[in-house]
Chains A and B, each alone.
Chain A
Amino acid sequence: MKKRIGAVVAVIVVVGLGFAGWLVLGRDPMSFAGNATVALEDYRDATVTGAPAQLAGAELVKRGEYLTHAADCQACHTVPGGTPFAGGFAINMPFGTLYSTNITPDKETGIGTYTDAQFLAAVHQGIRADGDYLYPAMPYTSYTYMTDADALAIKAYLFTLAPVHAPAKPNQLSWPFSQRRLLAAWTAMFNPDERFRPNIGQSPQWNRGAYLAEAMGHCGECHTPRNLAYALDNRSKFAGALTAGWRAYNITGDKESGIGDWNDEDIYLYLSTGHASGHGGAAGPMGEATDDSLSYLVPDDVHALVSYLRSIPAHASDLPRTVTTPAPPSHKEGMPVADADARGEKIFAGACASCHDWTGVSPVTGFATLTGVRAVNDPSAANVAQTVVHGVNRTTAGGRIFMPAFGAGYSDDDIAAVANYVTARFGAKGAHLTAKDVADLRAQAAQPHKEAPDG
């Protein structure tokens, strides 16, 4: 009997370890490029970490400010419309809601008492000053690749901010996810806790791009699907995922579902301005990533990101190729009868057509053109629905980009109908959202903040 129990236990342990090992296989975000890597101090080809050459002579705080933008700390550590870096941003997950924390140098509620070693432990290992683990919503499995010097430059910059007294909001997580101690096991499995290792088989530009994308910009945290343990599964690196109710699209080289058909200039413009003609504009979290982070990068760094993105292996996902021809100018043409949602058409006529046109090509601004936009060619219509609910309200170097938020004025039924209509008329395949789907999407993106003026 004892033997039999022992055998069962042994099988469970072996299967468990095997499963854990399988999960961990997708851990390394740069393994696709081969393992010809060297320690940073042994890499002599170029400087691929730190602030760019333009800021080489600048003081520490100035370099730290650039790197803080590059790492996009602000997007999550700020409530939209609130004081930057004071925390409180809600991260909604299937098992509850986490709130980001205050990283201004307030001694009581911020990070004002953090030593350099404590700051590095948080950034690289996900361990906060009191020794507890941070939830991996803080992307320390990406930031772990950041050099000590860069992390401390960011700290130096953050410590020049005005301290804000903003106590952390209590997280609302269900058991067992509310048990921080369990994160020790998670972290041991999924955080490599190692610094960036340049790849000598790749160009210096590629290595700079890899550092910016992985250690700083943490693109994969939204664009890479997660495994059952909610860690990034880099076997489908950058193949797209739903994060906080918005779909982060496939940015691999796949021609149908990814960005294989984009030229370098399109990718460069999209990253640096949040818009590329014929591909539409960034909204939601990618709009924030552009406005808080990517738009601050010097051109060489954006080109490096393009070079890195170009090297990501194509990974087909379930998205159709985007339709690049405009719809006909008459509302009576161009729609398959099965998709002609009368309610959606009525809403589109009253609220949307004046800017987006019945063709989808906006007479107002290229930012409002729907033709060729990935979100419109996504049969889940998640981002179309979110954009209708939240609107767009971006401030860019090129001026303000604005679409009213219709979330308060229109019901979930209305928003589902218009999203279904828009994807059918201008995209590859019509969506079939229901009011409940829209309610779910709203809940996932819910933030304690003011939206753009109601439409």
Chain B
Amino acid sequence: MLSLTINGQSHQIDLPEDMPLLWVLRDHLNLVGTKYGCGIAQCGVCTVHVGGKPVRSCQLTIGGVGTRAVVTIEAIGQTPNGAKVQQAWMEAAVPQCGYCQAGQIMSATALLNFNPHPDDSDIDAAMAGNLCRCGTYIRIRQAIKNAAAKTA
């Protein structure tokens, strides 16, 4: 039995330790905002926060989470930077098809948590692992800058 803290709630989980966190979120806890994409940590769509870091939940096993707190797209709007990013996302109408956007928002929020005023180079370094096949990258970059400019 594993104990995981997800979005502030403690969950007792009786599943194999080598199961990826993404499986547990989607199939066992019904937190389906986090999406499955490539399955090999190359697209970023499954990004969640673990211990404050953006992590690809398709590669992280639940046994590997340890005592670190997990935050998913469902709860990111309850954090100051998460709320700012979501607001900026709506104002700039960032998504097109939307499939990658939960991951984009999680990576963008982690970036602002680490670096409140990122420049283009910081944004590239933090966001390059999040693919968007609709090509919304220009709006993503603008929305991150807009979010950074918002006062809390």
Contacts and interface: CB of A to CB of B under 8 A. Distances in A.
B96 interface: no
A354 B54 CA distance: 8
A272 to B, nearest CB: 18
Contacts of B59: 355, 364-365, 402
B40 A364 contact: no
A357 B53 contact: yes
Interface in B35-59: 40-42, 44, 47, 50-51, 53-56, 59
Given A330-B115, A332-B121, A364-B56, A354 B40 contact: no
Interface residues of B, number: 26
A92 to B, nearest CB: 28
Interface stretch (A188-196, A262-270, A297-305, A344-352): A344-352
B40 A399 contact: no
A331 interface: yes
B18 A349 contact: no
Interface in A325-382: 329-332, 345-346, 349-351, 353-355, 357-358, 363-365
A453 interface: yes
A355 B41 contact: yes
Contacts of A350: 128-129
A404 B56 CA distance: 14
A3 interface: no
Contacts of B17: 399
B124 interface: yes
A331 B115 CA distance: 12
Interface string B112-130: 0011000001101100110
Nearest to A355: B41
A330 B41 contact: no
B129 A349 contact: yes
A330 B117 CA distance: 13
Contacts of B5: none
Contacts of B64: 364-365
Given A363-B50, A364-B56, A400-B18, A353 B128 contact: yes
Nearest to A400: B18
Contacts of B54: 354
B55 A364 contact: yes
Nearest to B40: A404
B128 A349 contact: yes
B124 A354 contact: no
Interface in B45-81: 47, 50-51, 53-56, 59-61, 63-64
A351 B121 CA distance: 16
Contacts of B115: 330
Contacts of B42: 351, 354, 404, 455
A355 B56 contact: yes
19 contacts: A330-B115, A330-B125, A331-B121, A346-B124, A349-B129, A353-B125, A353-B128, A354-B44, A354-B47, A355-B59, A358-B125, A363-B55, A364-B56, A399-B61, A399-B63, A400-B18, A402-B40, A402-B59, A453-B40
Interface string B69-109: 00000000000000000000000000000000000000000
A353 B129 contact: yes
Nearest to A455: B42
Given A354-B41, A399-B18, A402-B40, A364 B60 contact: yes
Nearest to A351: B42
B51 A363 contact: yes
Contacts of A455: 40, 42
Given A349-B128, A364-B59, A455-B40, 8 more contacts: A329-B114, A330-B115, A345-B125, A349-B125, A354-B42, A357-B53, A364-B41, A364-B56
Nearest to A357: B53
A351 B129 contact: yes
A290 B59 CA distance: 22
Given A363-B53, A364-B41, A331 B125 contact: yes
Interface in B108-152: 114-115, 121-122, 124-125, 128-129
What are the 3 tightest A-B residue pairs by CB atom distance, in nearest-first order?
A399-B18, A349-B128, A354-B129
A425 to B, nearest CB: 12
Contacts of A349: 124-125, 128-129
Nearest to B61: A399
A308 B128 CA distance: 47
Contacts of B128: 346, 349-350, 353
A357 to B, nearest CB: 7
Nearest to A359: B53
B37 to A, nearest CB: 12
Contacts of A346: 124, 128
B58 to A, nearest CB: 10
A351 B124 CA distance: 12
Nearest to B107: A354
Interface string A113-133: 000000000000000000000
Nearest to A352: B129
Contacts of A329: 114
A329 B111 CA distance: 11
Contacts of A353: 125, 128-129
Interface string A306-334: 00000000000000000000000111100
